[in-house]
Chain A
Amino acid sequence: MKLKINGEIVDVEVEESMPLLWVLRDELHMTGTKYGCGIAQCGACSVIVDGTVMRSCSLPVGSLENMDIQTIESSDAAGTLSVLQEAWIEKQVPQCGYCQSGMLMAATQLLKDIPAPRDEDINAAMTNICRCGTYNRIRAAIYLAAERLAQAGKAVTIK
Chain B
Amino acid sequence: MAEKNTKERSSLSKWTRRGFLGIGGLLGLGLVVGVGGLAYVGRSIKKYSGKGMGEGASLNAWIRIAPDNKITLAVARSEMGQGVYTALAQLIAEELEVNFEDVQVIHPQAESPYANTFLSTQKRENAFTGFGPMGKILSFMPVIATGGSTTVIDAWEGMRYAGATAREMLIQAAAKTWDVDASTCKAELGFVINTTSGERLSYGALAESAKDYTLDKLPTLKAKSEFKIVGKPVQRLDIPAKVNGTAMFGLDYKEKDMVYAAVKHAKITGNKITGFKNEEEVLKLPGVLKVVLTEYGKALVYADNSWRAMQAAKSLEVNEEGAQVPDMDSAYYFGEMRRIADEDPISVRIDKGDVQGITNEDVQEGERKLEAYYEVPYLAHACMEPVNATAIMENGNLEAWMGHQAISVAETMLNESSGVAKDKIKINITYLGGGFGRKGEPDFPRLIGAAAKAMQGKLVQMIFSREEDMKNDMYRPGAVCKMSGVVTQDGSLKALQANLAIQSVERQALGRIVPLMAPAAEKAKTTLEGLDNQAYNIPNHRVSFGNFETDILVGFWRSVSYSQNGFFQESFIDELAHAAGKDPLEFRRNMLLDQPRYLNVLDRLKEMSNWGKQEADTYQGIALQYSFESIVAQVAEIKKMGEKEFKIVNYYCVIDCGNTVNPDTIEAQMQSGIVFGLSAAIHGEISWKNGSPVQSNFHDYQMLKMYNCPKITVAIMENNEEPGGVGEPGVPPAAPALTNALFKATGERIRSLPLSKSDYVFV
8 contacts between A and B (CB under 8 A): A25-B306, A26-B254, A39-B698, A93-B239, A96-B435, A131-B703, A134-B668, A135-B705
Which chain B residues lie closer than 8 Å to A30 at the CB level? 1-2, 245
Interchain CB contact under 8 A, B1 and A97: no
| A39-B697, A129-B384 known; A25 vs B286 contact (CB < 8 Å) | no
Interchain CB contact under 8 A, A97 and B242: yes
A31 within 8 A of B: yes
Kindly supply a per-residue 1/0 record for chain B positions 428-471, scoring 1 wherever the CB is within 8 Å of any chain A CB and 0 otherwise.
00011111100000000000000000000000000101100000
Interchain CB contact under 8 A, A123 and B383: no
Interface residues of B in 588-604 (CB under 8 A from A): none
Question: Given B80, B239, B671, which contacts A89 in the complex, CB threshold below 8 Å?
Answer: B239
Chain B CB within 10 Å — which of A21, A27, A41, A94 has the most? A94
Interchain CB contact under 8 A, A96 and B706: no
Interchain CB contact under 8 A, B675 and A133: yes
Kindly supply a per-residue 1/0 record for chain A positions 83-123, scoring 1 wherever the CB is within 8 Å of any chain B CB and 0 otherwise.
00100110011111111110010000000000000000011
B712 within 8 A of A: yes
Which chain B residues lie closer than 8 Å to A19 at the CB level? 307
Question: Given A29, A39, A132, which contacts B81 in the complex, CB threshold below 8 Å?
Answer: A132
Give B713's nearest chain A residue, CB to CB: A136
A33 within 8 A of B: yes
Kindly supply a per-residue 1/0 record for chain B positions 349-386, scoring 1 wherever the CB is within 8 Å of any chain A CB and 0 otherwise.
00000000000000000000000000000000011111
Interchain CB contact under 8 A, B244 and A72: yes
Question: Given A25, A99, A132, which contacts B251 in the complex, CB threshold below 8 Å?
Answer: A25
Q: In whole angstroms, how far apart are the Cα atoms of A138 and B254 in the complex?
A: 29
Q: 6 new A-B pairs (CB below 8 Å) besides A36-B466, A135-B705?
A: A15-B286, A26-B260, A34-B251, A38-B697, A39-B466, A88-B239
Kindly supply a per-residue 1/0 record for chain B positions 708-752, scoring 1 wherever the CB is within 8 Å of any chain A CB and 0 otherwise.
010110000000000000000000000000000000000000000
Interchain CB contact under 8 A, B239 and A38: no
Which chain A residues lie closer than 8 Å to B434 at the CB level? 96, 98, 131-132
Give A5's nearest chain B residue, CB to CB: B1
Give B714's nearest chain A residue, CB to CB: A136
Interchain CB contact under 8 A, B668 and A95: yes
Which chain A residues lie closer than 8 Å to B676 at the CB level? 131-133
| A26-B305, A44-B384, A135-B675 known; A96 vs B705 contact (CB < 8 Å) | no
B223 within 8 A of A: no
Interchain CB contact under 8 A, B243 and A104: yes
B263 to chain A, nearest CB (A): 14
Interchain CB contact under 8 A, A96 and B81: yes
State the B residues within 8 Å of A (CB). Answer: 1-3, 80-83, 235-236, 238-249, 251-252, 254, 260, 286, 305-308, 310, 382-386, 431-436, 463, 465-466, 664, 668, 671-676, 679, 697-699, 703-707, 709, 711-712
Give B83's nearest chain A residue, CB to CB: A95
Interchain CB contact under 8 A, B239 and A92: yes
A70 to chain B, nearest CB (A): 12
B465 to chain A, nearest CB (A): 6
Which chain A residues lie closer than 8 Å to B435 at the CB level? 96
Give B712's nearest chain A residue, CB to CB: A136
Q: Which 10 residue pairs are nearest across A and B when measured between Cβ atoms?
A: A32-B245, A133-B675, A95-B81, A98-B433, A97-B242, A96-B81, A72-B245, A123-B707, A22-B307, A41-B698
Interchain CB contact under 8 A, A129 and B431: no
A35 within 8 A of B: yes
Interchain CB contact under 8 A, A42 and B384: yes
| A89-B235, A131-B384 known; A31 vs B433 contact (CB < 8 Å) | no
Q: In whole angstroms, how far apart are the Cα atoms of A124 and B708 in the complex?
A: 11
Interchain CB contact under 8 A, A85 and B244: yes
B146 to chain A, nearest CB (A): 13
Q: In whole angstroms, how far apart are the Cα atoms of A75 and B306 in the complex?
A: 27
Q: In whole angstroms, how far apart are the Cα atoms of A33 and B673 in the complex?
A: 26
B382 to chain A, nearest CB (A): 6
B381 to chain A, nearest CB (A): 9
Interface residues of A in 1-38 (CB under 8 A from B): 14-15, 18-19, 21-22, 25-38
A146 within 8 A of B: no
Question: Given B244, B431, B465, B704, which contacts A38 in the complex, CB threshold below 8 Å?
Answer: B465
A148 within 8 A of B: no
Which chain A residues lie closer than 8 Å to B1 at the CB level? 28-30, 73
Question: Given A42, A98, A100, which contacts B243 in the complex, CB threshold below 8 Å?
Answer: A100
Interchain CB contact under 8 A, B244 and A32: yes
Which chain A residues lie closer than 8 Å to B698 at the CB level? 36-37, 39, 41-42, 129
B699 to chain A, nearest CB (A): 5
Give B674's nearest chain A residue, CB to CB: A133
Interchain CB contact under 8 A, A34 and B307: no
Which chain B residues lie closer than 8 Å to A26 at the CB level? 254, 260, 305-307
A80 within 8 A of B: no
Give B699's nearest chain A residue, CB to CB: A41
Q: In whole angstroms, how far apart are the Cα atoms of A100 and B436 in the complex?
A: 18
Interchain CB contact under 8 A, B306 and A89: no
Which chain B residues lie closer than 8 Å to A14 at the CB level? 305
Give A138's nearest chain B residue, CB to CB: B706
Give B431's nearest chain A residue, CB to CB: A97
A126 within 8 A of B: yes
Q: In whole angstroms, how far apart are the Cα atoms of A14 and B308 in the complex?
A: 10
Which chain B residues lie closer than 8 Å to A42 at the CB level? 384, 698
